[in-house]
Structure 1
């Protein structure tokens, strides 16, 4: 499937509507690539632009699995509280001052929410 780039709040609102605000969803998997590595001379090559690929599944026949590619990541917080459900009932997702903010809860102050902040985001249906 082809990647779709999110650029505006309108793009986000359209996606949120089509995904029913992530209702009955869960984070299935994620892949973190730091960009930092050790080269053939055993030198540390530093890269401060990590990428996260985030896979979300939904209890829906429509757009069941979505992959997000997050670039320019400044924050990624995972909270896996054992006495709490990992099901997403309603997520928050918005653009503010050139950053994209996503929370696995409709309450952005909820400390049990998984969240991220990034500069660029694209998505595709799998």
Structure 2
């Protein structure tokens, strides 16, 4: 599976159209990690650059593609809102945009960080974004870890 890096507006437009603006999709999984860690000698390793990264797996009720994985590198913000009880987690439409040197993904098409950063919308921002098809990752099985 090849990664496609988003570098310009035409890359954003292509992905949104290619994946149907995430319509009738869902965020299946999210995996976040940092470059900060404690070594075996208990010394802390702390990178000085942005060290938070996130991979998100999206599935949708359409073919070609049915699933994509998005890799957010050097994350600058994340705001994930779980669906409340008795509500579904279906994405009606989503947006990707570049604003002030950050790429944003949000699960609402009209969302913008300047206007509604604290709204009930899930969003993530990062300095770099890549994506790839993950059609073989359909179904209930977790791909980033088990449920335990």
Whether TM-score is above 0.5 comes out as yes
**Which segments of 5 or more consecutive residues in structure 1 lack a partner in the other structure?**
none
Partner of 2:122: 114
Aligned partners of 1:56, 1:20: CA distance in 2, in Å? 12
TM-align CA RMSD: 1.5
1:96, CA displacement in angstroms? 2.0
Q: 1:12-31 counterparts in 2 under 5 A? A: 12-31=12-31
Q: 1:36-51 counterparts in 2 under 5 A? A: 36-47=36-47, 48-51=50-53
Return the TM-score normalized by structure 1.
0.92
Counting matched residue pairs gives 126
1:80/1:112 contact within 8 Å kept: no
Structure 2 residue 112 is matched with structure 1 residue 101: no
Residue 68 of structure 1, aligned match among 70, 77, 81: 70
Q: Describe the SS at the equivalent of 1:79.
A: coil
1:7, CA displacement in angstroms? 0.5
Return the TM-score normalized by structure 2.
0.79
1:52, CA displacement in angstroms? 0.3
1:102, CA displacement in angstroms? 1.1
4+ residue runs of structure 1 moved beyond 3 angstroms? none
